[in-house]
A and B are shown apart, each in its own frame.
Chain A
Amino acid sequence: MAEAEVDVDPVELEAEITDDDHMRGPRDAPLTLVEYADYQCEACITGFHAVEKLMETHGDRLLLVFRHFPLMSYHPMAMPGALAADAAGKQGRFWEMHANIFDADGEFDDDDIVRWAHELGLDVDQFDEDRHSEELEQEIRQVRLDGARSGVNGTPTFFLNNRRIDIPPEHEYLAGYVEHFLTHIGDGDLRGQSQARPS
């Protein structure tokens, strides 16, 4: 793949990765991609498919961290979706619920969430209790606030090795950045030409 021209914005992720994060991939991978996204955002749905493809092509060298950034004023099911994913995560099925939600292309309701919980074999009573807990919603709001403090500037926002990258959420751009970082990870040359999104 041709190396991409990249623009690494000098905005650094401040919200540290912890064991509470949703992670996929080798913990000792040379690259870590942190994604902040909203389950009803069209660009995030595109981003979901791009990241899934990226995990297929580069998953052996990439640790993926997904964090919620629900835009509740605009997307009424964004927070219920985030709560459902985290509640499923308490039973070890975060990524499956996450995929179900994104595969719904932004069109899902409470009945879908309950159906997915049954299909995943969750303890649905416990799942319901967890996803309706105020504590879990507060945790998600805190993740979102910490993301905003770190420089999240839209959904989705990606940080690659702690640096924000402003790109269209498509596989070719993500893969281009990943290739660039893998090439230059030792020499610190992580800047290039701008690829600002269209206004």
Chain B
Amino acid sequence: MDQLSVGDTAPDFELPVGPGESVRLSDKLAHHEHAVIAFFPAAWSPVCGDAVLVLEAVADELRRLGACIVGICPDNFWSTRAWAEHLGLSFPLASDFEPKGKVARSYGVFHDEGICQPAQFIVDEARRVEMAHIVPLGKSPGAHMILKRLEELRSRG
């Protein structure tokens, strides 16, 4: 599966965030103009910790710009939930564990080593991809691409 690019339609998904709890992209988009979908290769890793905390640091601004945030990590939900609670995240961190990396594969960002690429997508209400930012393993993508694209989309009205 090729990596999703701008203009592609992003697959919908429903993933667990804890026992008996899940997050569905289309449900989120029913209430927001855009969704920021952020893939984190491995819970508890230092670089992913950097990446997720930078996203959390700008979470209020992303919401002000009309976006919801969904984090995705290919670890089981006990691990992703504990990690999210440990870091005090305000957005859901979904577990893409069973089948392993199913959503990451459908977005073209699953990695051979059983983890996913650090990747960020912005999709609109119709799940059209408005931004795709994928960085090498070991790098944190920051939040600058997301902020700039959402600001552009907002200014465009």
Contacts and interface: CB of A to CB of B under 8 A. Distances in A.
A32 to B, nearest CB: 19
A166 B53 CA distance: 16
B47 A148 contact: no
Given A197-B47, A198-B46, A199-B42, A71 B138 contact: no
A73 B89 contact: yes
Contacts of B101: none
A150 interface: yes
Counting contact residues on chain A (CB < 8 A from B), the size range is 20 to 34
B143 interface: yes
Contacts of A155: 50, 53
Contacts of A69: 57
Given A153-B50, A154-B50, A154-B54, A73 B88 contact: yes
Nearest to B55: A148
Interface string B2-32: 0000000000000000000000000000000
Given A145-B58, A149-B148, A199 B50 contact: no
A55 to B, nearest CB: 24
A191 B53 CA distance: 28
Interface in A82-128: none
Nearest to B45: A199
A197 B50 CA distance: 11
Given A11-B142, A153-B140, A198-B138, A148 B54 contact: yes
Counting contact residues on chain B (CB < 8 A from A), the size range is 20 to 34
A144 B51 contact: no
Interface string B70-114: 000000000000000011111000000000000000000000000
A51 interface: no
Given A11-B144, A149-B148, A166-B139, A73 B56 contact: yes
A148 B57 CA distance: 8
Contacts of A149: 144, 147-148
B42 A73 contact: no
